[in-house]
Structure 1
Amino acid sequence: MGTYILEALSLICTPLNIVCLFATTFLGLIVGMLPGLTSTMAVALLTGLSFGLPTETALVILIAVYVGAISGGCQSAILLNIPGTPASAATAMDGFPMGRKGKGGLAIFLATSASFLGTLISVVLLLFLTPVLSSLALKFGTYEYFMLALFGIIICGNITSNGHPLRGWISGILGLMVAMIGLDPINAYPRFAFGSTSLRGGIQLIPVMIGLFGFPELLNMFNLDSEQKVSKMSGFEMKTGFKILMRNKLNILRSALIGAGVGIIPGVGEDIGGWLSYWAEKASTKDKAEKETFGKGNPNGVISCETGNNSCIGGAIIPVLSLAVPGSTSAAVLLAAFQLHGYRPGPMLMSETPELLYKLCVYMTFASFAMWLLAMLIAKFTVRVLSIKREILMPIILALCVVGSYVVRNYMFDITCMFIFGIVGYFLAKMRFPAAPFMLGLVLGTMADSNLRRALTLSGGSVAPFFTRPISLFFVIVVIGLILSQMGVFKLLFKKKKGSEE
């Protein structure tokens, strides 16, 4: 191990690789900040461009842009309530209210530092737990994937609804319904297309995300006076930030483990890691008054989300290396890139090319340091965005929303979707229905749909396997428990038991 790590250190410390590391990390941060540009897109683009470069340089470039893109989305989420990537959607829950209170600089410092720590912890897990944890992913079948999707929507509905979980669940179900539009993933039969060729292609995630989160903010600005828009911006308050991080040691460790665990499960992705980490932190908070501050600018929520989604990076690479099964869409592109550059991920990797694991760990470590330094430099300028007059800021945001929706497929229909779902998001906000479960329902819709249909096909229409397979049964119990707890059933039972004892 020591030999491989020293070799990786000598390779990355060459002038060419250092320049490429910082350049592509910076590119990743910009991609993450701009709505519509995703980490998958960045990694895919650089996979082709890096083909003619030395293998080690190509690996540095791909890892650096991946780390930068996942981390960069927090800044636009905090400052504009427009997540740069789906992975940073959960960060907007508390990050944007912090920005409104004039604590945008502190929120960005906490989010960036949590991203840095989450990535480092995932590197440790990647290094030592690759052969152990990857076996867990093999135990997930169609039944487990469906229950995981349902669990994600229920959790998201709970944590974003401000005491009204039914609203969160309705929002998530609406997202699932929108995900059904287009060709079904098994038989390619058109559903809810109404003869439209555009609808046959389905509703894309990025235009919906921009519409739900960005467009309502544009409309809300019409109702705000310049003085009401945001409190005076504070600086980074690094001393305060470090104190908050020290108080969140357990939160950071727990969120990193959750994120890495989610990353190992193929096809789930960084956004789920952020949401589950956020839920775990909120659920573990015993102080009722503090629990009510989640969604209103609680720094612990920002830290948990960013630690969780960034630790997914290392987690998603674990099944890539050991099983040749990607843990996320970005990891799927990485898998193709590794094969393109002569590596053969899978069960034989540790016997054929074991140095790849240690190189990736070293490159991710350096990329996380570069990300933190560059993000802090960028943030000195981006935090000023809230002090810009709305007459100037609104057209810029609108242009970014339109361009971000268009560049995904270069298709005008996606811009139309952005405006339609922007109006939907505005009315959801007016009726106090959270937008986040809607988006998560759209994210998980295809996974839930295809796996439920496969499960019922395999069982001949019987739902019994959902209750006989251990992991699926675990999710069933948790989902039912969450629903009953939000309906007050357990409190009622506890009161009756207490009354009988008295």
Structure 2
Amino acid sequence: MNTVFDALFSAFANLSTPMMLFNVVWATLLGIFVGALPGLTATMGVALLTTLTYSLDRDAAILVLICMYVGAIYGGSRSAILLNIPGTPASAATALDGFPLVRQGKGALAMAIATLGSMFGTLVGIVMLIAIAPPLAEAAFGFGSYEFFWLALFGIIISGQLTHSGEPLKGYMAGLIGLSVAMIGSEGIHSYVRFNFDIQQMNGGIDLIPAMVGAFGFAEVLFAMTLPAAQMVEKKSVRAPIRELLTSVWGYKRTVLESGVIGTLVGIIPGVGEDIGAWGSYAAAKRHSKERDQFGKGSQEGLIAAETGNSAVVPGSLIPTLTLGVPGSASAAVLIAALFLHGVRPGPMIMFDQPEMIYTIAVMLIFATIAMGVFGMALTPVFVRVLKVPRTILMPLVFCLCVIGPYALTQRIFDIWVMFFFGVVGYVLRRLNYPMAPLVLGIILGSLLDKSLRRGLILSNGDITAFFTRPVSAGFAILIALIILFSIPPVRRLLQFKRRGGNANSQETSDGKE
């Protein structure tokens, strides 16, 4: 325990310099604005900022990206509450009760509740990050090629299943597209060039940053330009008394803790994301609430559950990112690329090579949370004005960053064309209602899946049964098989029919007894 406190204190001392604190301020504030503006997402903000941190030292670059991530997830609540338009997908559940509260003249109270909920959710996640990450890294140190193959496949499958639960096939197809992209270029064992289509620039594969900037940046620009203009709510918002605010939050302390734990656990599941954390926390709060009839009509409990849940996913998603090298969300996937860019190698060896990194990132999250709370409480009028920025001014600026960022990293025109290609593909997929998270996870995990599969076959002399006989591998294989089986529409309908039939039979039995 003393070692943990010593590591945290050392990280706190290293990050408390004036320059680092200045980075916390501007990066968190920029993240809040990015999240608040409809059409800009946390993943896009982190991807664009990654291209601009190349000249910074390791800790400063990671701190800036963490603050952008935390700020953007929180910032989405500003437009969700004021406009009924979630600034990020993670804030969709926030709009259900935040916007009705604004219409009731309680906009300031709604904004303050969302701010405190986001702060508490992130803090719960930070505690669980410190408690879970080190032992998980030590457990993962015993993983071999067989386990990492199934872990990579599980990340892609589960993100496809949960992101679009109604149409899991589209999630699986998006994941396969990402895997196909990851197969381009020199493979990781013998450096044999594959699928380069005689284009020499593709011999080294598709760089992750241009692909992500295109899929999340340029595609968002194209998609946002097709959306209708947002309208601000006209009713004046009355400033909430501090006593009412604290009473409201204290009255829902169980919901805050429950939502924080749910959000963190959702974040640990590879590739699921903040939106699932918000909806899961919202559903759990509604199930246990004494005022469930108010949910969707301006419930303060529903608002705080949604905001606590989506913010808790941020530190939760960093747990598998740091210890397994498997991103917990799309934004965490971009962070993996940034960590490699700045000399940090996520995975089981992080506790041996850079054991202080987990605690350093925990302190970075604490700084970002404090800055988020201060700005969230103090700058509500500014957010209202920023949301009125015309899209015709904002989107060209974002497009310029999409072009400049990838080119600045490598000075290759080819990377700009990669960005354009993935931007158009991402836009088309979004119009067809395909999720982006499995696509990104496929690109990120494709190399791990490919190398683990072939290393495992080499170790077993081509015997594929080795992937099913080790306990952890067998567990992952069974879990993946069940997930795919239950996502098949006829199977789901059969299960629903049996459930309804069982309820009907029990009802008939009880009627007969009466």
1:124 maps to which of 122, 127, 139: 127
TM-fit CA distance, 1:427: 1.9
Q: Does 1:311 align with 2:316?
A: yes
Q: Contact 1:35/1:404 (CA < 8 Å) preserved in 2?
A: no
Task: Please tell me the residue identity of whatever aligns with 1:440.
Answer: L
C-alpha deviations, 1:409-455, integer Å up to 9, x for none?
33322221222122212222232222332222112212212212212
The Cα of 1:478 is off from its aligned counterpart by 1.6
In the alignment, which of 252, 258, 265 is matched to residue 250 of structure 1? 258
Deviation of 1:11 after TM superposition, in Å, equals 9.9
- In the TM superposition, what is the alpha-carbon distance from 1:46 to its structure 2 partner? 4.0
Letter aligned with residue 28 of structure 2: L
Q: What is the Cα deviation at residue 387 of structure 1?
A: 2.0
Is 1:4–1:359's contact at 8 Å kept on the other side of the alignment?
Answer: no
Q: TM-score, normalised by structure 1?
A: 0.69
What SS does the corresponding residue of 1:170 show, helix, strand or coil? helix
Q: C-alpha separation between the residues in 1 aligned to 2:421 and 2:458? A: 35
Matched, 1:424 2:425: yes
The residue number in structure 2 matching 1:47 is 57
User: Is residue 154 of structure 1 aligned with residue 157 of structure 2?
Assistant: yes
Percent same amino acid at aligned positions?
Answer: 31
Paired position in structure 1 for 2:179: 176
Q: Residues 79 and 96 of structure 1 are in contact (CA less than 8 Å); yes or no, is this contact kept in structure 2?
A: no
Aligned counterpart, 2:390: 389
**2:160 aligned partner, one-letter code:** G
- Whether the aligned pair in 2 keeps the contact of 1:71 and 1:306 (CA below 8 Å) is yes
Residue 491 (structure 2) aligned to one of 489, 492, 499: 489
Segment of structure 1 superposing worse, 306-315 or 156-165: 306-315
Partners of 1:447 and 1:250 in 2: CA distance: 34
After superposition, the Cα gap between the structure-2 partners of 1:245 and 1:436, relative to the gap in structure 1 and judged at 3 Å, is farther
Q: Could you say which residue in structure 1 is the equivalent of 2:28?
A: 29
Tell whether 2:201 aligns with 1:198: yes
Whole-Å Cα distance in 1 between the matches of residues 226 and 11 of structure 2?
Answer: 55
Moved more, 160-169 or 68-77: 68-77
- Distance in 1 of aligned mates of 2:201 and 2:427: 24
- Report the RMSD for the aligned CA atoms in angstroms: 5.1
CA contact (8 A) 1:8 1:362 kept: yes
Is the Cα contact below 8 Å between 1:161 and 1:168 reproduced in 2? yes
Task: Give me the whole-angstrom Cα distance separating, in 2, the residues matched to 1:404 and 1:348.
Answer: 30
Residue 374 of structure 1, CA deviation = 4.4
Query: CA–CA distance in 1 between the matches of 2:210 and 2:353?
Result: 41
Q: How many residues align?
A: 448
Q: Per-residue CA shift, 1:164-209, capped at 9, x if unaligned?
A: 1111211111111112112212222222112212222322333333
CA apart distance, 1:156: 1.7
Cα deviations across residues 237-274 of structure 1 (Å, max 9, x unaligned)? 98599588863532311332454x56xxxxx8xx6675
After superposition, the Cα gap between the structure-2 partners of 1:30 and 1:191, relative to the gap in structure 1 and judged at 3 Å, is: farther
Q: Give the letter aligned to residue 192 of structure 2.
A: Y
Query: Structure 1 residue 210 and structure 2 residue 221: aligned?
Result: no
Aligned-partner Cα distance in 2 for 1:172–1:25: 34
Compare 153-162 and 278-287 and name the one that shifted more.
278-287
For 2:238 and 2:185, locate their aligned partners in 1 and report how far apart those are by CA, in whole Å: 45
Note if 1:475 corresponds to 2:480.
no
Deviation at 1:281, TM superposition (A): 5.5
Match of 1:407, SS state, is helix
Aligned pairs for 1:65-464 (under 5 A) are: 65=64, 67-74=66-73, 92-95=88-91, 116-117=119-120, 119-125=122-128, 132-161=135-164, 163-226=166-229, 229=230, 232=233, 247-257=255-265, 259=267, 274=274, 277=277, 303-313=308-318, 365-366=366-367, 368-374=369-375, 381=382, 384-464=385-465
SS at match of 1:36: helix
Q: Counterparts of 1:311 and 1:30 in 2: how far apart (Å)?
A: 22
Equivalents in 1 of 2:497, 2:129: separation in Å? Answer: 46
> Aligned partners of 1:425, 1:360: CA distance in 2, in Å?
31
**Are the counterparts in 1 of residues 125 and 313 from structure 2 also a CA contact under 8 Å?**
no
- Cα distance change on mapping 1:130 and 1:202 into 2, 3 Å: closer
Alignment partners' CA distance in 2, 1:469 and 1:3: 34
CA contact (8 A) 1:112 1:372 kept: yes
Contact kept in structure 1, 2:185 and 2:205, CA below 8 Å: yes
Q: Determine the C-alpha separation between the residues in 1 that align with 2:67 and 2:225.
A: 34
Distance 1:348 1:405 in 2: 29
CA contact under 8 A between 2:149 and 2:453: conserved in structure 1? yes
2:16 corresponds to: 17
Contact 1:182 1:200 in 2 (8 A): yes
For normalisation by structure 2, the TM-score amounts to 0.67
- Partners of 1:169 and 1:432 in 2: how far apart? 13
Match in the other structure for 2:509: none
